[in-house]
Every structure is written in structure tokens, then in C-alpha cells.
Amino acid sequence: MFDWDRNNLSKIRVHQIKQDEVEQVLENDPIPIYEQDVEGERRFVYYGETNAGRLLAVVVTERGERIRVVTAYDLDRSQKRDYLNRRTRGE
């Protein structure tokens, strides 16, 4: 399901995020925020929550049947507010 290698693992490690935390966010009903095109590749940005309550943004792309994580990072204050407001509205 998820496509991991040394490259994307090192990108999340820079933000002190573990592989299982990213997978939890993607499995815990994340909120789609926006889509972008990077050099012809569609990328999707999600806000979500780990099982421990850590709020993360996760950037992914689809490669065939697999989900490739591009990067992930902690939400800043305004992103947290946006995420919590969307959750309150039922998104």
C-alpha cells in the first residue's frame, strides 16, 4: 500500500516524524487540503492526526496501486486551527 524508501524516510526524519505516524494519519480519515502539480506529478496534501494526537500535514502522490509519501511535517498554529475548525464542521 505505502511506497517507502531511504529518500522519503529521510525527508520525514528531518521533521522527527516516524513512518508509523505518517501511516496512522493516512489511515485515520485525514482531511484533504489541496492538490498540486509538481513537474507533471499530482500531489495531495492532507491534514490529520496520529493515534497519539499529533497533528501532521502529509504530502503524497499515487504511483500505480501504491501511495508514495513525499514528506510530512507538524502543523503550524494556523494549520492546527484550520484542521480543528474543519473537524468541528464535520469534514
Residue 56 near residue 22 (C-beta atoms within 8 A): yes
pLDDT, position 89: 93
pLDDT, position 91: 86
Which pairs from 35-40 meet CB under 8 Å and 24+ separation? Answer: none
pLDDT, average across residues 27-54: 96
Please list, in sequence order, all residues whose beta carbon lies within 8 angstroms of the beta carbon of residue 1, skipping any fewer than 6 positions away.
Answer: 65, 66, 67
* Residue found under cell 503550524: 76
pLDDT surpassing 90 at residue 46: yes
Residue 73 near residue 16 (C-beta atoms within 8 A): no
Q: pLDDT per residue over 4-16, tens digit each?
A: 999 999 999 999 9
